[in-house]
Structure 1
Amino acid sequence: MSRLYIYDHCPFCVRTMMVAHYKQVSDLEQVTLLNDDEDTCHRLIGQKMVPIFEHQGVAIAESMAIAKLLDSLGAAERVIRPLQLSEAILPRLQPVQAHSWALTFPRVTRIGLEEFATESACAYFRNKKEALLGCSFEQALAETDTHKAAIEQMLAELPPLSLPSAHGNTLSWNDVMNFPPLRGLTLVQGLTFPPAVLQWLDEVAELSGVSLYFDRAI
């Protein structure tokens, strides 16, 4: 049996989860690591990072390489449509990434995810991410309105995203790239998503078997 080591909240892990579920990859165990579990990562690949895919005695650790391999291992009839540059949203997300982090990092440890099942895992995450943010989680939360405004403007300016339902209920590689960072923003209570983006999120979540966070938003 192959193993996919992930964190539920990690956008890079979500790419691989989407492909594994959509392509109905068989004999695959999905393993959620605690966020402070460095030993497993170092044992498998020599460094602390996820996702990790262990297959036929070999462990690999780059999300798109894993996604492509899972695509080849899955059901051939469940095709992933080609990438369309016109629907690439990552360049639009990059300028507001700090705002996205400030909204999501302080919230994600508080919604019951397996990777944060222990106090030490939560503390490990906080220490790493507060250093990245340059402020405490409490300060980031206190500045939620500022961060929300920046993200909502970005969401309103996104290019149209092709609905899976308009393409025979199939996913595209754009969906695999675009869904993870937008899914993370569903953690934020009261964040306004344009209706078209909401419909796209719902359809991709359903097809990929990766749930949104709206019911646990903070």
Structure 2
Amino acid sequence: MSRLYIYDHCPFCIRTLLVAHYRQVADLEQIVLLNDDEDSCQQLIGKKMVPIFEHQGIAISESMDIAKLLDELGEGAKALRPLQLNEAIQPLLQPIQLHCQALSYPRVIHMGLRTFATESARAYYQRNKEAILGMSFAEALAGTAEHQAKVEQVLADLPPLSLPSEQGNTLSWNDVMNFPPLQYLTLVKGLAFPERLKQWLHEVSELGGVELYFDREI
């Protein structure tokens, strides 16, 4: 049996889960690590990093390398559609990355995810992410209105993404790349998503077997 080690909130891990579920990879055990579990990662790949895929006695990292291997191992009838440059939204999201992080980082530890099941895991995450943000979680939450306005402006201006329902209920490599950062934002209470983008999120979520957080938003 192969093993996929993840954090259940991690956008890079979500890429691999989308492919594994959609392509129906058999005999795959998913192992959710606590955020402060450094030892498991160190033993597998010599550094703290997820996702990690252990297959035939070899452990590999880097989410897209894992995703491509899972695609090859998959037994599902529907292939992933090729990447289309006009639907690559990562460059458009990059300028608001800090605003997205300020919205999501302080909230995700309160959602009951398995990665944050212990106080030490939550504290570890908060300490490291506050260093990245350059502010406390309390300060980030206090600035929610500003961060939310910046993010909503970019979401409203994103190019239309192909709906899986318009493509024979299939996913594409664009969906694999685009879904994780947007899925992460669905935990922010009151954040406005354009209707077509919201529909795209729901369709990708269903086909890829990865939940959205609209019903648990904070």
Q: TM-score normalized by structure 2?
A: 0.99
Instruction: Indicate the residue corresponding to 2:113 in structure 1.
Output: 113
Per-residue deviation, 1:77: 1.9
Residue-pair matches, total? 218
Distance 1:209 1:172 in 2: 14
Structure 1: 4+ residue segments shifted above 3 A: none
Give the AA of the match of 2:28: L
Give the AA of the match of 1:199: Q
Instruction: Indicate the residue corresponding to 2:142 in structure 1.
Output: 142
Per-residue deviation, 1:86: 0.1
* Higher deviation after alignment, 107-116 or 71-80: 71-80
Instruction: Indicate the residue corresponding to 1:42 in structure 2.
Output: 42
Instruction: Indicate the residue corresponding to 1:74 in structure 2.
Output: 74
1:170 partnered with 2:170? yes
Per-residue deviation, 1:118: 0.2
Distance 1:187 1:181 in 2: 11
SS of the residue 2:186 aligns to: helix
1:63 partnered with 2:63? yes
Distance 2:69 2:200 in 1: 25
Distance 1:134 1:212 in 2: 28
Distance 1:7 1:155 in 2: 26
Give the AA of the match of 1:91: P
Distance 2:30 2:77 in 1: 23
Give the AA of the match of 1:201: L
Distance 1:26 1:76 in 2: 10
- 1:129/1:74 CA distance change after superposition, 3 Å: same
Instruction: Indicate the residue corresponding to 1:97 in structure 2.
Output: 97
Give the AA of the match of 1:142: A
Per-residue deviation, 1:76: 5.1
1:208 partnered with 2:202? no
Per-residue deviation, 1:75: 1.6
Give the AA of the match of 1:121: A
Instruction: Note the aligned Cα RMSD (angstroms).
Output: 0.5
Distance 1:141 1:212 in 2: 21
Contact 2:187–2:217, Cα closer than 8 Å, also in 1: yes
Structure 1, unmatched stretches of 5+, are none
Structure 2, unmatched stretches of 5+, are none
Distance 2:57 2:154 in 1: 43
Give runs of aligned pairs for residues 151-170 of structure 1, distance below 5 A: 151-170=151-170
Contact 2:22–2:76, Cα closer than 8 Å, also in 1: no
Cα offsets for 1:2-45 (capped at 9, x unmatched): 00000111110000000000011000000000000000000000
Contact 2:104–2:185, Cα closer than 8 Å, also in 1: yes
Distance 1:17 1:153 in 2: 29
Instruction: Indicate the residue corresponding to 1:21 in structure 2.
Output: 21
Distance 2:17 2:77 in 1: 18
SS of the residue 1:121 aligns to: helix
1:193 partnered with 2:193? yes
* Higher deviation after alignment, 130-139 or 71-80: 71-80
Q: TM-score normalized by structure 1?
A: 0.99
SS of the residue 1:8 aligns to: coil
